[in-house]
Chains A and B, each alone.
Chain A
């Protein structure tokens, strides 16, 4: 199974600060169809996960453009340019290139 390693496990930020989360895959996530199925999700406390970014860098509809994703093959990054209070929660990367689909362990974003 593909292992996704997220760092850091916890991130403390002030409002307005820019932060990044790394997700490294144990194997390339480039699919034979040319797409790379690496998503980023946010789970706020007590809520369902919410898709933020799909296929590495595509912003899901309705998601603020302070969120951005980048990367390729095995190395991916989620950046939040100016954290807002509503951004607090646990961020997960997940891959859907190789079955079984797998998730990173999560990065908890909290206020400093």
Chain B
């Protein structure tokens, strides 16, 4: 069974960084893209970017190019997203998702990031 286990909730101060993890079991991340999506409180879904763990290639949505950094460790089958220079509007739930048969067919449980001083 494919499962994506995300790290726990984060509380970050403005101007600092947080690093989120997404550990995959039941599927080799070398065989997929890892996507990251956010959802601000009460709002819809927004694609942040994706990484190809096999070679480290990344694509970001324009607005996240200086905000998010995606990495992956194939030895532990885990992907990471670092969010830098946190601001209040970075407060959101962040999801990871992978493609197996279809695109975005497995999702992590989501992690709440709260930015507050």
Residues of A within 8 A of B (CB): 37, 39, 41, 43, 48-51, 54-55, 58, 60-61, 90, 92, 94, 96, 99-106
Does the CB pair A100–B61 fall under 8 Å? yes
B59 within 8 A of A: yes
Does the CB pair A49–B44 fall under 8 Å? no
Cα–Cα, bound, A86→B82 (Å):
35
Interface size on B, residues (CB 8 A): 23
Sample (15) of A-B pairs whose CB atoms are under 8 Å apart: A37-B103, A41-B104, A48-B95, A48-B109, A49-B45, A49-B107, A58-B102, A60-B101, A60-B105, A96-B103, A100-B47, A100-B49, A101-B50, A101-B61, A103-B45
B110 within 8 A of A: yes
Cα–Cα, bound, A43→B110 (Å):
12
Could you say which residues of chain A place their CB within 8 Å of the CB of B61? 99-101
- Shortest B40–chain A CB gap in Å is 13
- Shortest A33–chain B CB gap in Å is 13
Of A50, A51, A54, the most chain B CB neighbours within 10 A belong to: A51
Could you say which residues of chain A place their CB within 8 Å of the CB of B46? 103
Could you say which residues of chain B place their CB within 8 Å of the CB of A106? 44-45
Does the CB pair A39–B45 fall under 8 Å? no
Q: Which of B35, B44, B62, B97 contacts A92 (CB 8 A)?
A: B44
B14 within 8 A of A: no
Does the CB pair A101–B47 fall under 8 Å? yes
- Tell whether A92 pairs with B104 under 8 Å between CB atoms, given A48-B95, A48-B109, A100-B61: no
Could you say which residues of chain B place their CB within 8 Å of the CB of A51? 102-105
Cα–Cα, bound, A35→B44 (Å):
26
Tell me the chain B residues, 73-117 only, with Cβ under 8 Å from chain A: 95, 97, 101-105, 107-110
Could you say which residues of chain B place their CB within 8 Å of the CB of A99? 59, 61
Does the CB pair B45–A54 fall under 8 Å? no
Q: Which of B44, B60, B104, B109 contacts A39 (CB 8 A)?
A: B104
- Shortest A41–chain B CB gap in Å is 7
